[in-house]
Amino acid sequence: MTPRRAILHKWALSATLAALLLTFALSAVAENTAATPVSREDSPRWTKRHQSMADRLKEGHAGVLWIGDSIVERWEGPGRPLWNRYYRHRDAVNLGISGDRTEHVLWRLDHCNLECVSPKLAIVMIGQNNGPDNTAEEIAAGNAAIVSLLRQKQPDMKILLLGITFRGEKPNDEQVKLAKTNDILAKMDDGQHVFYMNINHVFLSPDGMIPKTLMPDCEHPNREGCRVWAEAIEPKVAELLGEKPIKPESDAPKWRPSCPPRRR
């Protein structure tokens, strides 16, 4: 090989290596973090709560699974009276952890003894915390991965996939993104195993604002918020469980927006 050819050959190899490195770099950037399982084991609270869930499922019984983030975890706080009314007798298990994103739920579902139980229904609402960092398509893909994993582990279980609730008192860009995500999630409803339901309307006043009478911080439901949430999905939950719906609280007042309507 002549010196000129050797130089050209060396240059070609360098160019090829650079192209491969660029390809790998682009692949890493293109990876959907919302659909890649990851734990939060660096958080003592998260680890403790996850372990308590795994221990609970290891007991071998669960009729309903509630899967999500801090919003789902609220059923154990201000929503406890409603949980006792609608879900306790159904042997429901709360698998909500504050701060979780779709990727964290994916990891948890693969490490929580899910094979030890045979629930009839899983209610899933997750993805709000992905809003700042992922696209609508990526968040939807994370939800799709969760649904796929649940179908794999519990093929006879029905899944009620809830639209992701909004946050922020006023309409904002994240709400637009999550609304787009919900439009994609709606297409996952197959009418046999996966059922989609969007209840964002019950948390919005006529002008699109989130009333503080339901979500004081415009993100997490209080007791009243949990009530309207439970009542909104109860007919579908009962249908999927083959039961009669639980009657709403007869003396519960209708919610009113915390402020007069405003124009957008």
Lowest-confidence pick of 3-17, 64-78, 119-133:
3-17
Say how many domains are in the chain: 1
According to DSSP, the residues that pair with 161 across neighbouring strands are 124, 196
What confidence score (pLDDT) does residue 168 get? 92
55, 110, 183, 217: which is the annotated catalytic residue?
217
The answer to whether residue 6 sits within a structural domain is no
Name the active-site residue from 39, 43, 70, 98. 70
Domain interval for residue 128 = 33-241
DSSP 44-85: HHHHHHHHHHHHHHHTS--SEEEEESHHHHGGGTTTHHHHHH
Of 50, 104, 205, 220, the active-site residue reads 220
Residues 92-104 have pLDDT tens digits of 999 999 999 999 9
CATH of the domain at 101: 3.40.50.1110
For 236-249, the pLDDT digits (tens) are 999 999 999 999 98
> For 118-161, what is each residue's pLDDT tens digit?
999 999 999 999 999 999 999 999 999 999 999 999 999 999 99
Mean pLDDT value of segment 40-47: 97
Strands 158-162, 121-125: parallel, antiparallel or unpaired by DSSP?
parallel
Contact 104, 42 (CB under 8 A): no
Token representation of residue 148:
């796929």
> Which amino acid type is present at position 10?
K
> Which band of pLDDT confidence, cut at 50, 70 and 90, is reported for residue 26?
very low
**Would you call 217 a catalytic residue per the annotation?**
yes
Return the structure tokens found at 254.
């209708």
**Is residue 11 situated within a structural domain?**
no
Is 177 within a domain? yes
Tens-place pLDDT, residues 189-203: 999 999 999 999 999
Q: Give residue 3's pLDDT.
A: 54
* Cβ atoms of 96 and 75 closer than 8 Å: yes
Inside any domain, residue 252: no
Domain contains 25: no
Scan for tokens 């009542």, then name that residue. 231
Across the chain, mean pLDDT equals 88
Q: Decide if 19 is inside a domain.
A: no
70 is catalytic: yes
- Please compute Rg for the chain using Cα positions: 23
